[in-house]
Amino acid sequence: MKIEFYRHSLEKEDKNEVAKVLDSVFLTSGEWTKAFERKLADYVESRYAVGLTSCTNALEITLKYFGIEQGDEVITTPMSFIATANAVEYCGAKPVFVDVEPDTANINADLIESVVTPRTKAILPVHLYGHMCDMGRIRKIADKHGLKVIEDAAHCMEGQRDGIKPGQVGDAACFSFYATKNITCGEGGAVSCNDPEMYDWLFKARMHGMTKNAADRYSKKYEHYDMDFLGFKCNMSNIQAALLIHQIERIETLLSARQRIAQRYDEAFLGNPGIKVLGTLPGTRHARHLYTILVDPRKRDEYMHRLQEAGVGVAINYRSIHLMKYYRQKYGYKRGDFPVCERIGDSTISIPFYPKLSDEEAGYIINAVNSMTNS
């Protein structure tokens, strides 16, 4: 057996939509981008969405919109993909980590206030694996100290907690359509928000700060553009948007398929004392992005390699960011600083988890995992 760690869920209609773009005039941002942004904003129930080329630049330009710069601090989690902390670095600011909750691996809101300083400007929570953080709680802490809240929702388009969706309580939410995400166009990202001024800035910021895009300039009577401020270059193209337009229409069906697999995995690993799986807290609708198992940290790498030898694709999501060389050297972070996060980072293995995983493949994975860890 050979089971890929990830397979995308593209269908004929996605490819046909891209073909339409290729037969049209504007391959760059245009009507497909606009249509996808509308669908995304509607889906997450925010007023606006801006299509970009990655979640990394979504995080970066959103932080920059809030004026985060050299000398500022942003409180975030060490249990995430490095992009979360790197976005803070791109602003010249310092990512200040706090430890995570053992049950969800999300940022531990109890610890946030203890690291707030006069330099703190924002909180950057990550809805890890698709399980939302307690946004009501985080918003309260932020308001008390006058901080912005930017949500890294790269795993969590479909998630909810206490009836709240990503971006509804935070000042903005950032999404990823990278190659292995729940819906994908290879590389892509977006920001959702409710503030018209912020939307206007982000819309221009993704293309140099220009006041008119190509479709506006060329399809009607030519109009001169101006440049309001020094922006960036990270606008989502029609090609990327065309790939996403029908995936977002199918997003609930795709989630149901992952929910079924998650339930099967949960039941299969329940009786195995060699494995721990993270829970879902009451009031939470899990977006089910990744399925991770926690094993004995002394045996994690061995298990990981044995699964690969058995033909099962695996990944590690994630080793603690604060233990990456760059962060250790720059800020002096060290082992022992965030023990809950480190323990998860040393124990975790992600196993194949996507709608096109067959029942037979899931059975094979369960067998491989259980026979290896339960002895």
Residues that bind ligand PLP (CB under 6 A): 54-56, 80-81, 83-84, 126, 152, 154-155, 176, 178, 189
| 301 half-sphere exposure, CB direction, 13 A CA radius | 3
CB of 52 to ligand PLP, least distance (A): 9
Q: Are 214 and 29 in contact (CB under 8 A)?
A: yes
| C-alpha–C-alpha distance, residues 100 and 108, integer Å | 5
Nearer to ligand PLP, 176 or 347 (CB): 176
Rounded least distance, CB 44 to ligand PLP, Å? 16
Q: State the Cα–Cα distance between residues 350 and 291, nearest whole angstrom.
A: 6
| Strand-pair partners of 164 | 161
Among residues 347, 365, 344, 282, the alpha carbon closest in space to that of 102 is found at 344
CB 315 within 8 A of CB 261: no
Query: What CA–CA distance (Å, rounded) separates 100 from 126?
Result: 11
Cβ closest to ligand PLP, residue 245 vs residue 321: 321
Q: What is the CA radius of gyration of the chain?
A: 21
- Distance of closest approach, residue 23 Cβ to ligand PLP, in angstroms: 28
Whether omega for the bond prior to residue 318 falls within 30 degrees of 0, making it cis, is yes
The residue among 8 and 368 lying less far from ligand PLP, judged by its C-beta, is 8
Alpha carbon distance 296, 294 (integer Å): 7
Q: Are 319 and 167 in contact (CB under 8 A)?
A: no
Shortest reach from residue 12's CB to ligand PLP, in Å: 25
Nearer to ligand PLP, 3 or 124 (CB): 124
Contact 75, 123 (CB under 8 A): yes
Based on CB atoms, which residue is closest to ligand PLP, 154 or 357? 154
CB of 318 to ligand PLP, least distance (A): 8
Q: What is the closest distance, in whole angstroms, from the C-beta atom of residue 153 to ligand PLP in the complex?
A: 8
Smaller CB distance to ligand PLP: residue 80 or 108? 80
Pick the closer one to ligand PLP by CB: 100 or 368: 100
Least distance CB 254 / ligand PLP (angstroms)? 17
